[in-house]
Chains A and B, each alone.
Chain A
Amino acid sequence: MTSTLADIASSVREGRTSAAQLAREALDRAQSLQPRLNACLQIFDSHALEHAAAVDRRIAAGEGHKLPLAGVPVALKDNICLSWGRTTCASRILQDYASPFTATAAQRLIDAGAVVIAKTNLDEFAMGSSTENSAFGPTRNPWDDSRVPGGSSGGSAASVAARIVPVALGSDTGGSIRQPAALCGVVGLKPTYGRVSRYGLVAYASSLDQIGPFATCVRDVALALDVIAGHDPLDSTSTPAAHTAATAEIENPVAPLVIGVPRQARSSANHPAVAQALDNAAALYARLGATLVEVDLPMTDYGIAAYYIVALAEASSNLARFDGVRFGTRAALKPGESLIDLYCRSRADGLGPEVKRRILIGTHALSSGYYDAYYLTALKARRRIKQDFDRAFTDQGCHAILMPAMPEPAFRIGEKTDPLSLYLEDVYTVGVNLAGLPALSFPAGFAENPRLPIGLQLVGPAWSEATLLRVARMFERETDFAAQTPPL
């Protein structure tokens, strides 16, 4: 039986173990699994041990009650800034970048007593669905190391699945928390846009990006959300509304409960184990007293096109800052070359092929003569996508929409080389970001031969995280999928 975050923190506060002891264990496990999984880009060793000792000193000084995550080891996706170590975004252009500040979400974990053990691997600048686009090599799935962990927060998902840390942060722009959570058999939450501060998150697509937690169970995700959520004056998109603790009523089933299953989620393109998991979960909720209704999300087929236009347009603007002048690496100039050459060569040398492709597509979509046809059309489609979800929640009264997180279990590293075929993996996740909604991905079954986790997601109306977590907890109490561990 694994301990919850709350159990770990109380055992530290009550002296049954120490933050230093937990940090040493997590560091040892991170180091020993690194050659096999490549889940981490930095492991902090002495720095983590110093932080852990500081937590132990605060407990000795009687401050333990202020530390809901006392001594809990955490890992952060390496696009989340810390004022120590490096923040590389898995890109060569930032391979030596040292941030002068710490992201708000990370600082809130630290203030709650958590100890940062590692920065985790990702698709470069969070652009990908497999963590194969890292400049520092792919992360491998703990369930089968010939396969991808999903992406882009693959290192964070793998670290939690491999029990290196009990909780990690990722970021989700089009599915980058929910997809790796599904493929690694852990729980991952993409909060409502505005729920968690994005200050200190290196921007990919600012109208879509959101930081969220991974953990091995629903209760731990709820506690991590409670710690990182809430208004931050440093992020103008963070909501000023108070966050109601998701942990408070986590054990209370939602009743009456209406769950919508989209017609489009029963696609014939789903892997049979994904289709089976969806049927089983719907049946289980029905047994628990929920009313299951079919909902229609007719824009599903247009989500990927709208998403990639919006996201890449924003990315082409956000990533203009990596120009070889103020940050990161700079190409050596030959005599007579200009500042424009410096920009072009520094970016050509420092950015990976997928990041370049995305910047170029985004640049084209925003360029004179194409703006209306691509960007403006995508923003109109975005409105329609949001209206699809609104109808299910408002007109049909759904508390949550149940659907796959990904159409298939983890695929082999190197299996998908065509960019578009990877984009199509995002069919179930991108609409949620375009609509700004919260969604929780949770373990809901296994494919066999080889045995690989299957994840489903619950999507809720804006600001309904507490309800979503309760609905997921109802499922978790009745099943043992989340408790199963990879064969490491």
Chain B
Amino acid sequence: MSRPLTADQVRRIALLARISVDDDQVAALQHDLSAVLGYMDRLRELDLTGVDPLGSVNESPGVLGEDVPGPTLPIDALRAMAPDSYDRFVRIPKVIDEGGGA
């Protein structure tokens, strides 16, 4: 864990995060990410046996809203946000039969 990240590890993380990286960036990221992750390893000094994780200070159970239809944003407003649209739809590249894994 405290070992510096390999180039392959950085490429794998970048793919998981859906961010393209070129070879120069991989080298810089190996350095930057390893430095930060190495710093974070100090948490291993702590004895945290029996400590409950705290995901949010708001630990009360969430209150469910009533399941009733309310106003929604107009289709035109949603379409205006998208980089590419056609009629009432957001347009994306073909995802079937391309091996894109989507």
Kindly list 12 other residue pairs between chains A and B, CB separation below 8 angstroms, not including A341-B100, A344-B18, A435-B57: A236-B62, A236-B65, A339-B98, A340-B18, A340-B100, A344-B15, A344-B19, A357-B36, A381-B46, A383-B52, A420-B39, A436-B58
Interface residues on B, range: 35 or more
Tell whether, in the assembled complex, residue B81 and residue A101 are in contact, meaning their CB atoms are under 8 Å apart. Answer: no
User: In the complex, A10→B95 CA distance in Å?
Assistant: 60
Tell whether, in the assembled complex, residue A373 and residue B1 are in contact, meaning their CB atoms are under 8 Å apart. Answer: yes
Tell whether, in the assembled complex, residue A308 and residue B36 are in contact, meaning their CB atoms are under 8 Å apart. Answer: yes
User: In the complex, A383→B43 CA distance in Å?
Assistant: 13
**B residues near A, CB below 8 A?**
1, 5, 10, 13-21, 29, 32-33, 35-37, 39-44, 46, 48, 51-58, 62-63, 65, 73-74, 77-78, 80-84, 90, 92-93, 95, 98-102
Contact with B along A304-343 (1 / 0, CB 8 A): 1110110000001000100111111110010001111111
The 7 A-B residue pairs with the shortest CB-CB distance, nearest first, are A338-B100, A436-B57, A379-B53, A330-B83, A100-B77, A348-B20, A383-B54
User: In the complex, A435→B56 CA distance in Å?
Assistant: 9
| Count of A interface residues, CB-CB < 8 Å | 69
User: In the complex, A372→B81 CA distance in Å?
Assistant: 37
Tell whether, in the assembled complex, residue B57 and residue A384 are in contact, meaning their CB atoms are under 8 Å apart. Answer: no
Question: Does residue A360 face the partner (Cβ distance < 8 Å to B)?
Answer: yes
Tell whether, in the assembled complex, residue A357 and residue B33 are in contact, meaning their CB atoms are under 8 Å apart. Answer: yes
User: In the complex, A356→B102 CA distance in Å?
Assistant: 22
User: In the complex, A329→B82 CA distance in Å?
Assistant: 8
User: In the complex, A359→B81 CA distance in Å?
Assistant: 23
How many whole Å from B80's CB to the nearest CB in chain A? Answer: 7
Main secondary structure of the interface of A (DSSP, over half): helix
Q: Given the known A-B contacts A308-B36, A339-B100, A361-B33, are A207 and B57 also in contact in the complex, defined by CB atoms under 8 Å?
A: yes
Q: Using Cβ atoms and an 8 Å threshold, which residues of chain B touch A381? A: 43, 46, 48
Q: Using Cβ atoms and an 8 Å threshold, which residues of chain B touch A345? A: 20
Question: Does residue A193 face the partner (Cβ distance < 8 Å to B)?
Answer: yes
Tell whether, in the assembled complex, residue B81 and residue A380 are in contact, meaning their CB atoms are under 8 Å apart. Answer: no
User: In the complex, A242→B17 CA distance in Å?
Assistant: 40
Who on chain B is nearest to A383 by CB? B54
Tell whether, in the assembled complex, residue A343 and residue B32 are in contact, meaning their CB atoms are under 8 Å apart. Answer: no
Tell whether, in the assembled complex, residue A339 and residue B93 are in contact, meaning their CB atoms are under 8 Å apart. Answer: yes
Tell whether, in the assembled complex, residue A308 and residue B20 are in contact, meaning their CB atoms are under 8 Å apart. Answer: no
Tell whether, in the assembled complex, residue B54 and residue A382 are in contact, meaning their CB atoms are under 8 Å apart. Answer: yes
Q: Could you write out 21 A-B pairs with CB less than 8 Å apart?
A: A98-B80, A193-B56, A207-B57, A207-B58, A236-B65, A305-B41, A309-B40, A330-B83, A330-B84, A339-B100, A344-B14, A347-B20, A361-B36, A363-B16, A367-B13, A377-B43, A378-B40, A379-B54, A382-B53, A384-B51, A435-B57
User: In the complex, A93→B48 CA distance in Å?
Assistant: 40
User: In the complex, A308→B32 CA distance in Å?
Assistant: 14
User: In the complex, A386→B40 CA distance in Å?
Assistant: 19
